[in-house]
Structure 1
């Protein structure tokens, strides 16, 4: 067990990373709490009120990206804001929009799946003493997969006319999409379980396998990096090529080989900046200006809580679905859409 002195030393040496790990843990626990709260909400209706009523947590809509994507299309094309799963639209819009300025900060700081991936990779290092590297040719083959998946989902939504999109949002299937997601995990199929096991094993050997190659949500957020407003820059004159930056990168980017990290996979975790032993060699820049290593995460969280606060104030956070409607829909949720 590590001593308090060890933790104090680590906090002093890499405060951003220690803070990031703590925030990741908090949001992972929060996600589990949201899941438990939603299950209790669901249980109340399927037991005909025999269990206490628990308020439905609107944050659960953050796990409904397809619904939010359709809602985003409707909002951008007609100006109508989704009233069924408004929190889902708020969160998707913020995370994708924030990606333009702040890169994939969501992925490295609060995404529960990203956190789980990093924990699995850590487990792999404990068991195998290391995480393995994939051959460069295989990385090239695997990288497009998440963009193909993203293109599939975006194409599916784009081909919907505005009437069909609006109809989908108010359809009973979309209304209980969060319940159906819960049922998927409560009654997990053999195929789904096998898929999760395979991803788990791959993530033990290859760090952040899901995030790097398969996650369409992260791919969508990462598209904002195309504008290259925010990036890590390396001073080649002071760099000693120690490769510490590359070794700590969760996305396995070859930071020590480039002058500017412009990869869409960069998640602004700041691990490389803190790992660099030569002060001023690696810097985060915004609009070509050097910024403090805390700038990106602090800006992200300030905007994150402001956006949620404003959404709650103007009535774009909680669903309009009533208790009476939930009482009718939830017991039949597993049959809706079949």
Structure 2
């Protein structure tokens, strides 16, 4: 059991990293709470009212990126904001749009899968005393996978006409897509468990395997980095090539070898900046101007709170599906097909 003094020392040495771990943990606990509440909501209708009714947590829609992608297409083309899963569209739009300025901050600060992936890597390091490196040639072969998955989903939605996209949003299938997602995990079969087990084992050996090579959502958010509004710059004159920045990077980027971190995989976790032992050798920049190392995470968190708050105030958060409609939809969700 580590002492209180040890934790204080770690907080003093790595305040941003510790803060990020705390934010990740709080957000993960919040999402677990959302999951429990949604399960209770579901069971009320599944048992035909025998269990206590609880309000459906709108935040569950954050797990419906495909529905949100279709809704975004409709919003852009027709100006009509999705009223079936509005919170999903709000969260999807914010996280993807925020990638232009905040890079993949969602992945390093909020994403529950990213959090579990990091924890798994830390567990692997305790077991094997280190995290293993994937050979460069293999990393090059694996890197396109998440972009191919992203291309598949994007092409599928882009090919839909606006009329078809609107029709999809109104389908019972889309209305209960969150319920069907829950049912999938409640009745998960051998194939699903095998996939999860393989990803878990790979993450034990190779840090953030899912995030680095397989996640299409992270790939989409990372495309915002193409504009290079924000980047981490390295002062080659003061750099000692200690490689501390590279060692702590969750995405295994070779920070010590580049003048500026322009990689689409950078999650703006700020670990490299914090780990650098030489002052002003690594700095986050916005439009090539140096900013405080806390700027990106704090601004991202503040903007997220404001964005969600605005959505709630303006009525763009809660679904229009009524209790009576849920009463009809949920008991028949198993029989609703695409």
1:180 CA displacement: 0.3
Long gaps (5+) in structure 2: none
Q: Tell me which residue corresponds to 1:185.
A: 185
Deviation, structure 1 residue 195: 0.3
Deviation beyond 4 Å, 4+ runs, structure 1? none
Correspondence for 1:68: 68
Number of equivalenced pairs: 338
Corresponding residue number in structure 1 for 2:17: 17
Residue of structure 2 in register with 1:176 after alignment: 176
Q: Distance in 2 between matches of 1:101 and 1:223?
A: 11
Partner of 1:206: 206
SS of residue matched to 2:233: strand
Residues 281-322 of structure 1 show CA distances to partners (whole Å, capped at 9, x for unaligned) of: 000000000000000011101110101011001110000000
Work out whether 1:98 is the aligned partner of 2:114: no
Consecutive unaligned residues of structure 1, counting only runs of 5 or more, are none
CA distance, structure 2, for counterparts of residue 76 and residue 91 of structure 1: 16
TM-score (norm 2): 0.99
* 2:56 matched residue in structure 1: 56
Query: 1:103-162 deviations in whole A, cap 9, x for unaligned?
Result: 000000010000000000000001000010000000000000000000000000000001
Deviations 1:247-283 (A, max 9, x none): 0000000000001000000000000001011111000
Alignment partners' CA distance in 1, 2:18 and 2:334: 42
TM-score (norm 1): 0.99
Task: Using the TM superposition, give the Cα deviation of residue 82 of structure 1 relative to its aligned residue in structure 2, in angstroms.
Answer: 0.1
Measured in 1, the distance between the counterparts of 2:4 and 2:282 equals 29
1:196 aligns with 2:196: yes
TM-superposed deviation, 1:189 = 1.5
1:277 aligns with 2:274: no
Establish whether residue 323 from structure 1 lines up as the match of residue 323 from structure 2: yes
**Structure 2 equivalent of residue 302 of structure 1:** 302
In 2, distance between residues paired with 1:117 and 1:81? 33
Distance in 2, Cα, partners of 1:2 & 1:264: 37
Q: Match for residue 217 of structure 1? A: 217
Q: Residue 284 of structure 2 aligns to a residue in which SS? A: strand
1:149 counterpart residue number: 149
**How many Å separate the matches in 2 of 1:223 and 1:62?**
19
> 3-state SS of the aligned residue for 1:285?
strand
* CA distance in 1: counterparts of 2:276 and 2:289, whole angstroms: 19
Q: Distance in 1 between matches of 2:15 and 2:304?
A: 21
**Root mean square deviation of aligned Cα:** 0.6
Aligned twin of 2:239: 239
